[in-house]
């Protein structure tokens, strides 16, 4: 049988459909571990696999979606991880025959990675790597990483599978109605990250029906030539006339979207929740003898954060790499890094982005500190306050790898040289972690005196990178700036070297600008003149201080003159906004002198490092309740508004919530002394019986606590009777129920029915990935919340209305 990667160039392959809903049809009990059925009910699994093979599937998936160590531990089955995964592959293989590929399904851990949660990158990496190795050894043909909601967890899984196995890999994220993941990643950013990590196929599955997934695949197809995969749900779950949870879209209706997927450039078509063998059969008939649409990707250098991609190109404006997160010659920043305090890092990150930085260089090179830990803390801080990509600036291998594990997105490594030790250390890490790399044109003999010499080193770096499988667009070159005061005759060699790199290699170029004026008076004049010369020669991304107005002005004017600023838009905007910005800065400065306004902004910015000291200052003039009502609550409400409008995502939401928690911890004892404790109401939260997923519920808990609610959290997989009994005993105002699986949704109805009978005064609010507003209405619940921000609004409304 030909390799799957080869076949994808010539034909569209059909994956199978749903596993979970097919198991439910055959009597899977709520609360059972679906993967344990590989051991207890092998005939059922083979029957499902066989139905998809008969329907025409070219690829069938193993029943291993939740068979990682962390998920199995929820059912006390971690000790059976090998048996469950091995048996899953065996059952699929026995049915597949010689012409059907066995795809091993790997799903998420059910936990959020740091800094959003408690799971470290290394822990996730080991969990995914362990499962992947078992699946490969058992005979799987490829791995399908699917239903990932967080880019960082997806990175950990993809890196682990690529490192620990030799199998082709599909990587699928799941998207929400706004065409972003739960943590804010859009399809084009995902493409940037996964391509650099070497994914063989990239796609989207679950969460949405085919109509929305057509939009996502179209977006992906515009940014990549990598094969694409789509696995839509059969619509969103609803209740039928028998009060059973179903996915409403019929097979024929689903299949009608297949021509649109084909036109968008898809290479693999399958199905997710609710899809059936009938749909797969229709899909197979529609793709027979059809060649995948041709897609050509531009060869662009692209970096990414969790939520934003930045393209570096000769046809686009010059990108600024902000240099100010660097302790060299900066005593205060050095002290803070040594003390693991990130106040100045956060401030510099925010200020540089506001000034126009496109990428932030992060250097923590303070002697005699734990630089790996400092890099981790600094990068997490940068992630929390800004949304642009990062350049990891270090020559230390341990620090570099710590940074590469922490970073969310596709970073730039600053840097690698032409020295053998550097090439052998840095390039393998860049390949493994999907980073772009900045090559410095120096080697064991130092910096070549001529432009030709520097070109030679650049060619060596590029050649070695490509030998490892790093694409040429992921290699940038720094031709090195030498001080004009010491080596005036070498200044033009740097400029000539940029021109040669462009002419002969076509690579993006980076340059540290300010070293040119070292030891000279009036340094700014020298720096701006040199920057203009470098941009004219082809410089793409200078490393500079973006808050320096002269440098900004020179850069904008240079881009205009070399035709890299379309119709002078950036130049005109820069100057038309200056007066307005001065006025805003003046007003902002006046506003933030008030302690309550400062606290409001600290919550808005998620600055938990400074919230306590500012509260202590505010308490000299204000009571605790006043601080809460006039600063903290308005701040978190504004965060919610920004989340609703799509300018904030889950990371910012969580950081602001954690900042609020720090504030409340400080203020709670004072409120007790003032006898001024006030709550909107008492809320009981629980994930219903049979559902071991509680990420969403935990986020709602944090948001409700920080908006003035008293919370009783019963956890996950909670029995119906316990929820009902506790709600009545504790005299709660509202019960919040969460479910992530369609199999557990009926428990919501049972709880709602009994509570409405026994305690009609208690309001019931539903949420969870598979729950809908219609479902909540149909079963008699009082409300539905799509996310944590809406949960706060709805809970407030329900409780206030019931008390009035």
Determine if residue 206 is labeled as part of a ligand binding site: yes
Residue 35, both tokens:
């993967």
Cα 505 from Cα 511, distance rounded (Å): 17
Residue 599, both tokens:
């606290």
Could you give the count of Cα atoms lying within 13 Å of 474 in the half-sphere of its Cβ? Answer: 27
Please, is 670 exposed, middle or buried when counting C-beta atoms within 10 Å of its C-beta (0-12, 13-18, 19+)?
middle
Q: What residues contact 578, with CB distance under 8 A and at least 6 apart? A: none
Q: How far is CA 158 from CA 124, 405, 607, in A?
A: 11, 13, 32
Q: What residues contact 323, with CB distance under 8 A and at least 6 apart? A: 361, 512, 514, 543, 544, 545
Cα 457 from Cα 462, distance rounded (Å): 9
Determine if residue 229 is labeled as part of a ligand binding site: no
Give the count of beta carbons closer than 10 Å to the beta carbon of residue 427: 24
Q: Would the CA dihedral through 183, 186, 192, 196 be positive or negative? A: positive
Task: Judge contact between 760 and 780, C-beta under 8 A.
Answer: no
Cα 771 from Cα 730, distance rounded (Å): 26
The sheet carrying 681-687 orders its strands as: 709-713, 681-687, 734-738, 763-767, 783-784
Determine if residue 33 is labeled as part of a ligand binding site: no
Q: Which helix (H) or strand (E) holds 417?
A: strand 412-417
Would you call the peptide bond into 115 cis, given omega within 30 degrees of 0 as the criterion?
yes
Number of H helices and E strands in the chain, helices first, is 34, 25
Q: What residues contact 548, with CB distance under 8 A and at least 6 apart? A: 524
Residue 373, both tokens:
């830990």
Query: What are the binding residues?
Result: 206, 272-273
Query: What are the binding residues for Zn(2+)?
Result: 206, 272-273
């Amino acid at each position: 049988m030909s390799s799957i990667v080869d076949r994808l160039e010539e034909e569209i392959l059909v994956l199978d459909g749903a596993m979970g809903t097919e198991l439910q049809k055959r009597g899977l009990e709520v609360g059972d571990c679906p993967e344990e059925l590989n051991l207890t009910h092998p005939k059922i699994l083979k029957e499902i696999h066989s139905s998809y093979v008969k329907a025409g599937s070219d690829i069938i998936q193993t029943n291993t979606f939740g068979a990682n160590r962390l998920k199995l531990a929820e059912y006390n089955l971690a000790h059976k991880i090998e048996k469950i995964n091995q048996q899953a592959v065996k059952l699929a293989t026995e049915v597949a025959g010689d012409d059907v590929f066995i795809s091993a399904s790997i799903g998420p851990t059910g936990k959020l990675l740091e800094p959003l949660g408690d799971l470290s990158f290394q822990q996730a990496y080991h969990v995914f790597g362990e499962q992947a190795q078992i699946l490969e050894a058992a005979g799987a043909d490829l791995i399908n990483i699917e239903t990932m909601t967080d880019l960082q967890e997806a990175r950990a899984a993809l890196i682990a599978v690529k490192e620990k196995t030799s199998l082709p890999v599909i990587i699928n994220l799941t998207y929400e109605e706004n065409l972003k993941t739960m943590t804010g990643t859009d399809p084009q950013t995902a493409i940037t990250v996964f391509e650099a990590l070497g994914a063989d196929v990239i796609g989207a599955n679950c969460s949405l029906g085919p109509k929305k997934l057509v939009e996502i695949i179209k977006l992906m197809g515009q940014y990549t030539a990598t094969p694409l995969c789509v696995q839509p749900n059969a619509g969103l779950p609803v209740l039928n006339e028998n009060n059973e949870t179903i996915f409403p879209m019929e097979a024929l209706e689903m299949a009608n979207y297949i021509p649109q997927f084909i036109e968008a450039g898809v290479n693999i078509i399958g199905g997710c929740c609710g899809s059936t063998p009938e749909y797969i059969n229709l899909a197979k008939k529609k793709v027979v003898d059809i060649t995948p649409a041709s897609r050509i990707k531009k060869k662009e250098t692209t970096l990414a954060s969790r939520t934003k991609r930045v393209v570096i190109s000769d046809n686009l404006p010059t990108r600024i790499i902000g240099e100010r997160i660097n302790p060299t010659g900066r005593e205060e920043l050095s002290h803070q890094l040594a003390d693991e305090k990130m106040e100045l890092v956060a401030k510099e990150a925010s200020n540089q982005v506001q000034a126009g930085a496109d990428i932030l260089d992060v250097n923590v090179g303070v002697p005699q500190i734990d630089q790996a830990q400092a890099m981790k803390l600094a990068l997490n801080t940068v992630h929390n306050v800004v949304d642009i990509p990062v350049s990891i600036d270090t020559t230390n291998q341990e620090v570099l790898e710590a940074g590469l594990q922490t970073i969310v997105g596709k970073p730039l490594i600053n840097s690698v040289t032409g020295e053998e030790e550097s090439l052998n250390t840095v390039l393998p890490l860049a390949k493994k972690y999907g980073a772009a790399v900045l090559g410095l044109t120096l080697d064991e003999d130092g910096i070549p005196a001529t432009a030709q010499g520097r070109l030679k080193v650049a060619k060596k770096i590029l050649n070695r990178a490509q030998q490892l499988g790093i694409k040429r667009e992921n290699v940038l070159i720094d031709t090195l700036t030498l001080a004009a005061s010491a080596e005036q005759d070498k200044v033009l060699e740097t400029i000539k070297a940029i021109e040669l790199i462009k002419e002969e290699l076509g690579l993006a170029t980076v340059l540290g600008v300010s070293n040119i004026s070292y030891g000279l008076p009036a340094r700014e004049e020298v720096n701006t003149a040199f920057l203009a010369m470098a941009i004219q020669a082809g410089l793409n991304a200078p490393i500079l201080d973006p808050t320096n107005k002269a440098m900004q002005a020179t850069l904008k004017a240079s881009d205009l003159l070399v035709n890299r600023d379309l119709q002078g838009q950036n130049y005109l905007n820069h100057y038309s906004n200056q007066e307005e910005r001065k006025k805003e800065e003046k007003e902002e400065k006046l506003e933030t002198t008030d302690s309550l306004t400062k606290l409001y902004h600290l919550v808005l910015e998620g600055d938990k490092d400074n919230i306590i000291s500012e509260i202590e200052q505010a308490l000299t003039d204000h009571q605790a309740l006043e601080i809460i009502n006039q600063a903290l609550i308005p701040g978190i409400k504004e965060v919610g508004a920004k989340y609703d409008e799509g300018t904030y995502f889950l990371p910012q939401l969580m950081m602001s919530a954690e900042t609020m928690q720090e504030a409340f911890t400080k203020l709670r004892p004072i409120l007790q002394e003032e006898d001024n404790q006030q709550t909107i109401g008492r809320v009981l939260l629980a994930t219903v019986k049979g559902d071991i997923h509680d990420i969403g519920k935990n986020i709602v808990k944090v948001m409700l606590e920080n908006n003035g609610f008293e919370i009783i959290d019963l956890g996950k997989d909670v029995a119906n009777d316990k929820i009902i009994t506790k709600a009545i005993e504790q005299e709660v105002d509202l019960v919040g129920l969460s479910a992530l699986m369609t199999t557990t949704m009926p428990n919501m109805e049972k709880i709602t029915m009994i509570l409405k009978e026994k305690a009609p005064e208690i309001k019931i609010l539903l949420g969870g990935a598979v729950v809908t507003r219609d479902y909540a209405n149909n079963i008699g619940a009082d409300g539905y919340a799509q996310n944590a921000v809406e949960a706060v609004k709805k809970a407030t409304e329900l409780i206030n209305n019931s008390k009035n």
